[in-house]
Amino acid sequence: MHRNRQSAQVSLALLIASAITLGMLVLTIVLIGQSFRGMETAKVSAASATAKQLAISVDDRIHSITAPPSTALAVLSHDSLAGAQTLAGRLERLPVFADILQSSNIVSAVYAGYANGDFILLRKVRSSGTLQFPDAPEATRFVLQTITHGPDGPPGEWRFYRADMQLIKRMPVPAYTYDPRTRPWFETAAKSEMTELSAPYAFFTTGETGITLSRKASPETGGAGTIFGIDVTITDLSSQLAGLRQTPHTRIAIVNRDRQVLADSGNRNNPGPAIAGALDQAGEDIEGSPVNQFTAEGRDWYGMTEPLGALQEEELTIAVAIPADELLAEVWQALARQTVIAGLIALLLLVLGWFLGRQVGRPLEHLTDQVSRLSRFRFDTPVRSDSHIREARQLGVALDDMAKTIRSFQNIATVLNRGQDLNNLLRDILEQIVHILGQERGGIYLFSRQQEQLNLAVDQCLELPEIISGLPADSNDNEIIRLLQNHISGHPVFAILRNRNKQLIGVLAIEMERGDNTHLSDDLIVFVDEIAGSAAVAIETRELIESQQALLDGIIRLVANAIDAKSPYTGGHCERVPKLAQMLVNEAIASDDPFFGPFSMSEEQLQEFHLAAWLHDCGKITSPEYVVDKSVKLETIHNRIHEIRTRFEVLHRDAEIRYLNRVLQGEDEAVADRERQQTRSRLEEEFKFIAHANQGSEFMHEEDIERIRTIGQQTWLRHFSDRLGLSPDEKQALQDVPEPALPATEQLLADKPEQLRFWGEHVPPVRKDDPRNRWGFDMELPEYLYNRGELHNLTVAKGTLTEEERFKINEHIVQTICMLDALPLPDRLANVPRLAGSHHERMDGTGYPGGLTAADLGIPERIMAVADVFEALTAVDRPYKAGKTLTESLEIMDRMADEGHIDRAVFELFVRSGTYQRYAEAHLHPGQIDYVDESLFMKPD
C-alpha cells in the first residue's frame, strides 16, 4: 500500500513539472497576444488623446495671442490720437504705440486709419525672430510708416527710430499709396462697436502670417471715423507644432474651413498627402476610436482630426498623421522581447521538471523500507530522509513525529486537556490523532442537544457534510455509527466522544486509506479509544469555560454596542478603541525600548485590559443623547434657532406694519420706505450673524459676544400666554415666576429663570470633599444641572457645549467607574474599573475624574488614553468636527504629549511601531491616510 502511494507521489511531482511547463507556455502565448493587442490599442488611444490635447493647447495659444492685444486696443480707442488731424499731432502720441509694441513679443505693428485716408503705423524692425527691414539704418528698433494727405507732410514717408524713440532717419516713399479705408479690417471695425478679429492672412508689408484686431475710436476723442488696428503674428505656431510630434515623422497641421494650411509641423506650403488623408478620414476607421488608418506616400498612417474652439468663424481644425511603423515600433520590440523570455523560461522549466522527477524518486524508495516497519506498529523505528526535496524530507519528518507521538500518548493527552481555546483544541486533537494513525484526513463533529444534530467543527481534507441531523441524544454508539456511515463514504473509523456523564458530545471520524490499515488491530482500536476519551474530557472542559467567557463577552459587547447605537455620531467608538488599544499593548510588550523593558502582561491581565477597553465608555449610557449629539449651540431636543428665526420674522413684519401705518397717516412714503428697508436689512444681517454663531465652528471673540447681547436686547410683543401646553417639568420651572400681563414685551434673546435646571437631590459625588466620594474623584461641579438660556448658549466661546453640558459629558467617566465598581467582578478582573475610567487623566494631573498624575498611571492606562484620543481625532462621525488626517492627528497628539496630556513614550511607540498606519488601513477613509514623516514626532532623549 505504501509503495503504491509513494509511486503516485513521484508521478505527481513529474506531472506538476510538466503541467507547469505546458501551462506557462499557453499562458505566455495568450499574454503575448493580449499584450500586443492591448499595447496597439493603447498606442492608438494615446494618439487620439494627444490629438485632443493638441487641440486644447492650440486653442489656449490662440486665446493667449488675442487677449492682451485686444485689451491694449480697447485702451487705445480712447486715446487723443484718434482726433489728431496733423502728422505733428499724431507724432506726439507715438510713445503710446511704442509701449504697446514693447509690451508683447507677438504684436508686430500698431496703426490708425483716418476717415480721410491718412494712415500712421509703427512696426518692429525684427518680428517673429526675423529682420523684416534689412536696409534699415543700424540700431533701428521701430519703423514708422505714414500717409498724410494735405500740406502738412509728404503723402508717404518712413521714419526709423531707436529703442528710446529717438529719430534716426526720415525717408520719403512716394510709392507708398496704401489706403486703409479699403482694407477689410477698417471696413469691419467701422460697422461695429466692438473689437473685431480678422481671419489669419499674410500682412501687406512683411508677408508674415497673422491676424488683425481693429476697433473704432471712441466718440469722446473727436476722431469720428478713425479706426485703430494691431497686427499679431502667429507664425510661431508651426514651430510649436513641430515640437509636439509623437514620432520623428509625425505630421501636424492647422487648416481653416477652406482647407488652407495656417500652421504645419513640416512645410506649411506643402503639407502632403498624409495630412490630406487625415482630413478626408481615408482608409478604415478604428473601432471604438476616432482614428482612421490609411496608406499614403507608400506608408501606413494613423490619422485623426479635432476641431479648434478658437476663431470659430474660421472653423479651424487640427489634423494629425502618425506613421504606423513608428507608432507601433515599441510594441513590436516588446513583443520580440517577451517571446524570447517566454522561450527561455519554458526551456528552463523542462530541464527543472526532469531534474526534480529524478530527485523525488530516489528518497521515496529509501523511505519505503522504513515506513513498512511503522506499518507493523514498530514505533521505535526512527525515520530519516537526507533528500534535498522538501516533500520527501517532510514525509520523513512527519512519519518520525508520528512514531514519537504514539510513544508519548499520555503526555499528549495531558497537553490536550490543558488547551485554552476550543477551536484550536479541536484542531490539535484532530491533527494529533490523524498523525498517530498515520493518516491524512479526518474530522470532528460536535453534538447540538437542542437541535439533535451533529455540526462539523473541524474538517481536515475529508470534505464531510456540514450537518448530520436526526440523531436523538440517547442514541447508542452503534446507532450513531450506522447513521454516520449513511452520510460518509469511504473507509472511515469513528470514535464516539462522551463526557464524564456518558452524554454524547461529538464524534471523531478518520478516513483510513485502502490497504492493510482498513483492518485495525485490537491494540490500535484501544489506543484510539483512549485518545478519544481524553479528547472528550478536554472538549467538555473547554466548552464550559468558553461558554461562560462567551456569555461575559456577549454582555460586554451588548453594552458597548448599545452605547454606540444610542448616538449616530459615536457609532463604532466603543468597538474601535479596544482594537487600537490591543494593538498598542502588543507593541509595548514586544518593545525593546528601556521604558517598556520590564512591561509584560499575563493572559488574565490581557483579558482584564480587553474588558476594560470595551467598557471604557459604558457610563455614556447615562449621558443624555441630545447633549452627546449636540451639533449647534441652541440645540436641546431640537435646534432652537427656529424659534429665534420666528422672532426675527415678527420684527421684520413689524417694520412692514410701521411703514404702512406711516403711509396711511400721511407721512412721506419715501422716508418711511427707506426706514423699512434699513430695518429689514439690519434684521436679516443680524439673524445671519446669530445663525452663524449658533454653529460654533470657530472661536468667538469678545466683540462678537457683546454684539449678540446687543442684538438680544431688542424687544417684541407676545400676545399669547406662555403657560399653555407645557410639560410638568416646564410648569415646575415656571411656578415661582409670575405671568406678565398680555401683551407682554419680550427680549429678542434672553436668559430666563425657567431655562435653569437645578441639581436637587441628584448631585453626583464628584467633589473631593463629598463624603460619598470613595473613588477619589476630584472634579469641579457646575452651579446648575443645565442652563438653557439662549444668550448663555450662543455666547459659548468655543464649540457648542456649555459648562454644564461639558460636565455632563465628562461625567460619563464617573458613571463608568461607579457602574463597573458595582459589578461582582472576580479578583482577576479587579482592575477593570480603574483601567476603564482613567483614559481622561493627564500626565500633568489636570485630567479627570481623579486628577491623577503620571506617577499614578501605569502603562495600560496611558495606552488607553492614547488609543481614545487617536480614535476621537480620526473619527468621521462626530457632529462638531471632521475626521482628521494621519499627519494632522499625530501633530495634535505630539503637542498633547509636550503639554503633559498624554504620555510621550507611549505616543512615540505608537508612531514608531506603525500601529497608527495599520489601524488607519483597517478603519479610516482613504482620504485621511496621507504620508507621515515619523521623524517629526521622535524627540531626542
The terminus-to-terminus CA distance of the chain in angstroms comes to 69
- How confident is the model over 573-599, as a mean pLDDT? 84
When mean pLDDT is compared across 438-447, 476-485, 610-619, 798-807, the lowest value belongs to 610-619
What's the topology of domain 567-630+800-937?
A: Hypothetical protein af1432 (1.10.3210)
Alpha-carbon distance of 205 to 414, in angstroms, equals 109
Q: What is the pLDDT of residues 68-95, one digit of tens each?
A: 787 888 888 888 888 888 888 888 888 8
Give the cell for residue 489: 463514504
H helix intervals, 408-439: 409-417, 422-436
Alpha-carbon distance of 38 to 32, in angstroms, equals 10
Alpha-carbon distance of 532 to 442, in angstroms, equals 13
Give domain limits for the chain.
77-234, 238-327, 408-551, 567-630+800-937, 641-794
pLDDT band at 359 (very low <50, low <70, confident <90, very high): low
- How confident is the model over 538-563, as a mean pLDDT? 67
Question: In one letter, which amino acid is 194?
Answer: M
Identical fold, 238-327 and 408-551: yes
Judge whether residue 552 has pLDDT over 80: no
Judge whether residue 634 has pLDDT over 80: no
Q: What is the pLDDT of residues 152-185, one digit of tens each?
A: 556 888 889 998 888 888 888 888 888 888 888 8
Question: What is the reported pLDDT for 13?
Answer: 52
Output the DSSP codes for 509-547: EEEPPSSGGGS--HHHHHHHHHHHHHHHHHHHHHHHHHH
Of the two residues 359 and 837, the one the predictor is more confident about is 837
For 386, counting Cβ atoms within 10 Å of its Cβ (0-12 exposed, 13-18 middle, 19+ buried), the class is exposed
b/e map of 180-216 (b: 16 or more CB within 10 Å)? bbebebbebbbeeeebbbbbbeebebbebbbbbbbbb
Cα dist. 883→82, 840, 886, 926, 928 in Å? Answer: 64, 20, 10, 12, 7
Alpha-carbon distance of 108 to 105, in angstroms, equals 8
Residue of 300, 250, 314 lying closest to 54 (CA atoms):
250
Average pLDDT, the chain: 76
Residue of 840, 886, 878 lying closest to 862 (CA atoms):
840
Omega before 134 within 30 of 0, i.e. cis: no
- How confident is the model over 28-35, as a mean pLDDT? 68
| Arch. (CATH architecture) of 408-551 | 2-Layer Sandwich (3.30)
| Maximum separation of any 2 CA atoms in the chain, in Å | 141
Is residue 80 within 8 Å of 226, Cβ to Cβ? no
Q: What's 199's DSSP letter? A: P
- How confident is the model over 901-929, as a mean pLDDT? 88
Question: What is the reported pLDDT for 392?
Answer: 65
pLDDT band at 2 (very low <50, low <70, confident <90, very high): very low
Question: What is the reported pLDDT for 516?
Answer: 53
Question: What is the reported pLDDT for 151?
Answer: 66
Residues in the chain: 941
Alpha-carbon distance of 471 to 52, in angstroms, equals 73
The helix (H) or strand (E) run that includes residue 109 is strand 107-113
pLDDT band at 617 (very low <50, low <70, confident <90, very high): low
Cα dist. 164→87, 90, 101, 102 in Å? Answer: 20, 18, 13, 11
pLDDT band at 863 (very low <50, low <70, confident <90, very high): confident
**What contacts 614, CB < 8 A, 6 or more positions away?**
556, 557, 559, 560, 574, 578
Q: What is the pLDDT of residues 493-512, one digit of tens each?
A: 788 888 878 888 888 888 87
The helix (H) or strand (E) run that includes residue 446 is strand 441-448
Judge whether residue 599 has pLDDT over 80: yes
| CATH (residue range 77-234) | 3.30.450.20
Is residue 246 within 8 Å of 53, Cβ to Cβ? no
Class of the CATH domain delimited by 238-327? alpha beta
Question: What is the reported pLDDT for 868?
Answer: 84
776 — alpha (psi -120 to 50), left (phi > 0) or beta? left
Q: What's 740's DSSP letter? A: P
When mean pLDDT is compared across 143-147, 297-301, 398-402, 864-868, the lowest value belongs to 398-402
Question: What is the reported pLDDT for 765?
Answer: 79
Q: What is the pLDDT of residues 201-248, one digit of tens each?
A: 777 667 677 788 888 888 887 778 899 898 887 665 666 566 666 677
Three-state DSSP state, 209: strand
Question: What is the reported pLDDT for 558?
Answer: 65
Question: What is the reported pLDDT for 71?
Answer: 81
